[in-house]
Structure 1
Amino acid sequence: MMRSMYSGVSGVKGHQTRMDVVGNNIANVNTTGFKSGRVTFADTLSQTTANASAPTGNLGGTNPKQIGLGVGVSTIDTLFTDGAVQSTGKNTDLCLSGNGLFVVKNGSETYYTRNGAFEFDESGNYVMPGNGMKVQGWMGTDGVVSTSGAVTDISIQIGKAMAAKATEKTTYSYNLKSNPPVVTQYSFKYTDTTTTPPTTKTSTSTNSGDYVGASATQPVTVTFSDGTKTTYTSGVYTVGRSLPVTTSFNFYDSLGSVHTATVLLEKADVGTLQYLDTNGNTVTKTGTAWSVLLGSTDTVTEADGSKTTYSLGGDTLTFDEDGVLREATSFSTPTALNRDTYDATTLSYTPTAVSTTSAATISLTASVSAPNGSTRPQSIVLDYSTVTSYADINTINATPDGNAAGTLKSISIDSSGVITGVYTNSVIQPEAQVAIAQFSNAAGLTKTGSSLYQTSNNSGTPNVKGASDLGCSITPSALEMSNVDIANEFSDMIITQRGFQSNSKVITVSDEMLETMINMKR
């Protein structure tokens, strides 16, 4: 008689526990990043009044006779399903989706959370504003963030200074048109002072390598290989070469002052070239040489009165018949360059002969002389290694490094958790990256309150990486809502209430039966 009462008591206790979990879920229906709980029941030990018996020759087998002794709470699970994304418009808020948690620290104590309501404090620390715990991640160095080291506090002070950095490299990209028309003839009028009186004559040349400068007082008519003919009043024109492709880029000296360099590319000679392939074999192909030359006089006077002197040797780029730039040796004899005898102009630049070797990188030297006499020399590598030379399109572009001095004015965060800084000098670079921890069994983490978790014996050790490395994604300017489904919770509440009532009734009926048995003596 007492077994049913104690079974009813266990049922009441179990359903009370389930109601506690349902109540906690509903209480946290609007808690940022909250993960709902779930209770599962299991029956307890059963009392065996008769064991099972095996079949015999005359009788069949019998099943065991067992009386259950009630119910117990099997598990209280934390459900780590994603909550809905709620946009906030605050650029420091982060919503994490996927199997991961943010990492925060309080001194030496490490905690984990799905609550991404972060912000920067007065010292530039990225923190949970409710408790001051510091968000962990990796800090960048010179715009490069490495996630291979240990995590540390993320600290980015708005207004921090960026030092000026001199340009060291200019990277050329995209395509250099392989089939531009070349000059086949030029002609211009000049004054012959050897006659009396001086007479006007015409100088014409079809000799490869002859060049002339054009001006308003000395127009030059140029005939090209495609049959077109144009008269120019500026520029330099060389028989056997294309019109120059102009590439200009701004570069910075060590003080952060900006200067402009102009580099020209002229298609020059076609011949054979020889290079080593990846297996070390010598390959001979037809190639096209391009001369790299300065697009202005060697010395430029800047707006502040300083003078920048440029130096660039006779450098050559050679593309093979497949449009690939090769570091090679050319078997062609470079064409000799000769200025027209009757040219009376001031040349804007001087054509440069091609060399018998080709390189992928070329050195440009720029020396800035200030009015006070100080000089700042620097060497800039012009990297053409990724440039191709295919027909019909000319998209070559130069991108220099270096920057002027500046200060950090704003930040943004992307879906990988990379915090990017925007500086007043127009430099945009990564400053830090938010770390994400992933556990083999996130449900095994121990809740410590304030939407925080800590590791337990059954959670596993955290695998701390960037969000994209773990298959997670971050939505900036948003927060993760609670994953509590209020409709399910109300349904569970009804079911729990009925279970509690039913078990209470078992206790009541068992009590009445005991009372009836006692009254039998009367």
Structure 2
Amino acid sequence: MMRSLWSGVAGLKTHQIQMDVIGNNVANVNTTSYKAQKTTFGDLLYQNARKAAGPTAVRGGTNAKQIGLGAKYSAIMTNIEKQGSIQQTDNVFDLSITGDSFFVIENQKGEMTYSRDGSFTVDAEGYLVTRADGFYVRGSLQEGGAAGATGRIKVLPLDDEGNLEKMAGAPTTDARITGIISRTDNLLSSDRGRTVDLEFYGNDGKTYTARFKFDNAGDNNDSTYRATVTGIYDENHQLIEGGVAENTTVNLVYDPTTGAFVSANDNTQGQFQLNFQGDAAAAGSVSVDFSGTFNYAPKNGMSGSSLEAHRGDKDGNGEGYPEGDMNGVAIARDGTITRLYSNGQNRFAGRISVAEFANVTGLSKEGENLYKATGNSGPARMMYVDDDGGYISSGSLEMSNVDLSAEFTDMIITQRGFQANSRVITVSDTLLDELRQLKR
């Protein structure tokens, strides 16, 4: 048989495989995070008609005479390292990675697989899963925990009946009164006094209001004043009868020369413990700081005081917050997932872990945009996405990195190569026919 006939057949096979790869690339031009493949060819074994010989004393050297036996596909490479374009989706659970890392996905067998496809959703139990198959996304469940200590990330805090759990409120433990007690304020000498309302959160997470009455302490001393808690009101602004405990009067003293604060009930730090009782016992106890007030006589014609009540101490601690409903989720660039609540608070839900490999092109494609580690890829190195300078973008997806112009160019070249090899077979057949006709 003519060797060219078999070389042509080998060429047809290799170009057919290349066309299969090109067709798969084109088919996945819009597949999320798909990585294009490319075929490389190699020549087959050669038949030696004569071996190479070195020069001798009487004769020069000669090259080998080798006849090739066709071509084969030597490798199919996946272009994993080339990033696809980023498409905005505005879905908070659609994530794209900028960098070389992969999401860590637990498949139905409990095996760790890896993916660049960040099209995720939340299942009925509140876990972050892949949208296509419901495979669990892995990450750290402890704030500040190690990236390698992964678990299934539970985004939504659901109770046994599948309802979102509310966030319990935190009571206000500290408050402060600030501003000016004016020596020319006529209200301070009246029966009504000047009132200041302090809104705070009780032990039950509800909102309460304590009303303070400021007056001149019933004397003519311009440096002594008095603050009395006259009542406590519930979240509907209804007075709670008998809710104010005894000893709720605070005697305030100021420096007669500078107007600076001196003491509150002889406490130079200005602290006063406000307690409640009866039907208002759930309001708890609040430490009120009066050291932020001072006393002077204005010279600009203004006679009113400017007192204000604030939750929290000078550093913002002890402010408390009410009961809250979860109303959103935020995913940061470092992969941290945060639950957002209606009371202005937020809580850590988990942090997405990622994996990198020594030889990323050695990964094995498993379908569904998933990869598995192989002996040639090396084991997964668990990390956070920003450990190597990458980041995660919420509300976007990485698209396919297929270059259609290059694929169509390769398609033309493959078609011509296939045609040429077909022509080799046709010509070889003609030669065999000529040989057959020699008998006639």
TM-score (norm 2): 0.72
Give per-residue Cα distances to partners, 1:1-46, cap 9 Å, x unaligned: 6222211111110000000000000111111111111001111222
Give per-residue Cα distances to partners, 1:121-156, cap 9 Å, x unaligned: 22212122221112222235xxx3534452111222
- Aligned residue identity for 1:255: D
Aligned match for 2:361, one of 406, 420, 443: 443
Q: In the alignment, is the contact (CA less than 8 A) between 2:93 and 2:121 conserved in 1?
A: yes
Structure number with higher helix proportion: 2
- Aligned residue identity for 1:16: Q
2:63 equivalent to 1:63: yes
Aligned to 2:166: 161
Aligned match for 1:109, one of 102, 108, 111: 111
Q: In the alignment, is the contact (CA less than 8 A) between 1:253 and 1:378 conserved in 2?
A: no
TM alignment of 1:24-43, pairs within 5 A = 24-43=24-43
- Aligned residue identity for 2:156: Q
Q: In the alignment, is the contact (CA less than 8 A) between 2:206 and 2:323 conserved in 1?
A: no
Aligned to 1:459: 377
How far apart in 2 are the matches of 1:399 and 1:70? 79
Aligned to 2:138: 136
TM alignment of 1:265-276, pairs within 5 A = none
Q: In the alignment, is the contact (CA less than 8 A) between 2:127 and 2:136 conserved in 1?
A: yes
- Aligned residue identity for 2:262: T
Q: CA deviation at 1:52?
A: 2.0
Q: In the alignment, is the contact (CA less than 8 A) between 1:145 and 1:430 conserved in 2?
A: no
How far apart in 2 are the matches of 1:300 and 1:502? 101
2:408 equivalent to 1:406: no
* Structure 2 residues without counterparts, runs of 5 or longer: 158-163, 176-180, 211-224, 235-239, 289-312
Q: In the alignment, is the contact (CA less than 8 A) between 2:147 and 2:353 conserved in 1?
A: no
How far apart in 2 are the matches of 1:54 and 1:99? 51
TM alignment of 1:43-442, pairs within 5 A = 43-80=43-80, 81-107=82-108, 108-140=110-142, 144-148=143-147, 150-157=149-156, 159-166=164-171, 214-216=183-185, 254-256=203-205, 302-304=232-234, 306=243, 350-351=262-263, 366=273, 368-372=275-279, 374=281, 376=284, 398-400=315-317, 402-442=320-360
CA gap 1:520/1:379 in 2 versus in 1, 3 angstroms: farther
Say which SS state the counterpart of residue 137 (structure 2) adopts: strand
Q: CA deviation at 1:109?
A: 2.3
Q: In the alignment, is the contact (CA less than 8 A) between 2:86 and 2:399 conserved in 1?
A: yes
How far apart in 2 are the matches of 1:432 and 1:296? 51
How far apart in 2 are the matches of 1:77 and 1:445? 10
CA gap 1:260/1:467 in 2 versus in 1, 3 angstroms: farther
Give per-residue Cα distances to partners, 1:366-419, cap 9 Å, x unaligned: 553233474845789xxxxxxxxxxxxxxx963326533222111122222222
How far apart in 1 are the matches of 2:167 and 2:7? 72
Say which SS state the counterpart of residue 490 (structure 1) adopts: helix
Q: In the alignment, is the contact (CA less than 8 A) between 2:263 and 2:270 conserved in 1?
A: no
- Aligned residue identity for 2:137: V
TM-score (norm 1): 0.61
CA gap 1:296/1:307 in 2 versus in 1, 3 angstroms: farther
Say which SS state the counterpart of residue 399 (structure 1) adopts: coil
Higher mean alpha-carbon deviation, 103-112 vs 484-493, is at: 103-112
Q: In the alignment, is the contact (CA less than 8 A) between 1:365 and 1:377 conserved in 2?
A: no
CA-atom RMSD, angstroms? 4.0
How far apart in 1 are the matches of 2:40 and 2:354? 30
- Aligned residue identity for 1:434: I
CA gap 1:113/1:339 in 2 versus in 1, 3 angstroms: closer
- Aligned residue identity for 2:169: A
How far apart in 2 are the matches of 1:4 and 1:44? 13
CA gap 1:11/1:351 in 2 versus in 1, 3 angstroms: same
Aligned match for 2:430, one of 505, 512, 521: 512
Give per-residue Cα distances to partners, 1:400-445, cap 9 Å, x unaligned: 2653322211112222222222101111333222222212222222
CA gap 1:371/1:482 in 2 versus in 1, 3 angstroms: same
Say which SS state the counterpart of residue 262 (structure 2) adopts: coil
Give per-residue Cα distances to partners, 1:314-355, cap 9 Å, x unaligned: xxxxxxxxxxxxxxxxxxxxxxx99659xxxxx995348999
How far apart in 2 are the matches of 1:92 and 1:296? 56
Say which SS state the counterpart of residue 325 (structure 2) adopts: strand
Say which SS state the counterpart of residue 350 (structure 1) adopts: strand
Say which SS state the counterpart of residue 161 (structure 1) adopts: coil
CA gap 1:354/1:368 in 2 versus in 1, 3 angstroms: closer
Aligned to 1:224: none
Say which SS state the counterpart of residue 30 (structure 2) adopts: coil
CA gap 1:25/1:397 in 2 versus in 1, 3 angstroms: farther
Structure number with higher strand proportion: 1
How far apart in 2 are the matches of 1:119 and 1:77? 31
CA gap 1:339/1:40 in 2 versus in 1, 3 angstroms: closer
2:401 equivalent to 1:483: yes
CA gap 1:138/1:496 in 2 versus in 1, 3 angstroms: same
**May I ask how many residue pairs the two structures share in their alignment?**
370
Q: In the alignment, is the contact (CA less than 8 A) between 1:250 and 1:400 conserved in 2?
A: no
Say which SS state the counterpart of residue 456 (structure 1) adopts: coil
Give per-residue Cα distances to partners, 1:141-178, cap 9 Å, x unaligned: xxx353445211122226332223356899xxxxxxxx
Q: CA deviation at 1:500?
A: 0.7
* Structure 1 residues without counterparts, runs of 5 or longer: 171-211, 220-233, 236-248, 262-294, 311-336, 342-346, 356-361, 381-395
Q: In the alignment, is the contact (CA less than 8 A) between 2:357 and 2:378 conserved in 1?
A: yes
- Aligned residue identity for 1:442: V
- Aligned residue identity for 2:233: A
